[in-house]
Every structure is written in structure tokens, then in C-alpha cells.
Copies of this chain bind each other. A is one copy, B any other.
Amino acid sequence: MYQIDLLSRVPIYEQIITQTKKLIAAGVLKPGEALPSVRSLSMSLHANPNTVARAFTELDREGVICTVQGKGCFVTEAAKQIIKKKSKERLSDVSALCRELIAAGITKDEIIAEINKINTDAQKKGEN
């Protein structure tokens, strides 16, 4: 289910957070459904249980999942909504990155052309 790159410079716990959100946004993990346990996930990802736990703690803090002592973690009803809202805030990251490229001589058109290359299949998956 999860695709983690243990060698990436992106922290593993962050990759788990991103992947989990992607799975929820895509409808693979539905509200009320249980996430894999920390122990099983850490084993299948060859990651440290602490690392997985850290990711889940963060997702819980964001309200995307809720942790039930002794039972596991479950996707909240509001998960998709929260994820979309958080993502909207990240439009400023896109903005900042593009500003930088534009300052370096890349044109607006080149950037937009790159974005238009993105497979629209992804849009279908993400649709509410």
C-alpha cells in the first residue's frame, strides 16, 4: 500500500504522512476505516516503529486520523476536508517555488506547460 523511499532526503515520517493523506484523498482509506498498525506498518516498510508512530501522532494532531488506545488508528470523517484545506495553504509553497524559478529566468509559460503535462488521471482520483 505504502511506497516509501528509505534513502530519500525526505524524512521517512514525512513520507508516511504524505502517503497516508494521498491514500485517504484517493479513497483507498475511507472514513472510519483502520490504518495498518504501527507494528505491522513499520515491519512492512523496514522502518523503525518510532518513526511510524511519529507520523501517526502528527496525523492525529492534524485531525486526519484518531488514535484509540489499544484498538488502533482510524480515518476521521473530516479527513478529506482537512487534507484539502491543508493543501490549499500549500499553494503558497508553489507560489514561492515558482517565484524563485521566474527570478532565475524561467518563464511563466514554461512552468504552466510543465503543470499541464501532469496526468489528469490524478485529478479523477483526487475528486471529492
Q: List the interface of chain A (C-beta within 8 A of B).
A: 6-7, 9, 11, 18, 21-22, 25-26, 66, 68-69, 80, 83-84, 86-88, 90-95, 97-108, 110-112, 114-123, 125-128
Copies of this chain present in the complex amount to 4
Q: Is the CB of A103 within 8 A of B69?
A: no
The reply to whether B94 and A21 form a contact with Cβ atoms under 8 Å apart is no
Does B103 lie within 8 Å of A26, measured CB to CB? yes
Q: Are A21 and B104 in contact (CB under 8 A)?
A: yes
Task: Please tell me if the beta carbons of B108 and A118 are within 8 angstroms of each other in the complex.
Answer: yes
CB distance from A30 to the nearest CB of B (A): 15
Q: Which of chain B's residues has its CB closest to A112's CB?
A: B112
A83 in contact with B105 given A68-B7, A112-B112 (CB within 8 Å): yes
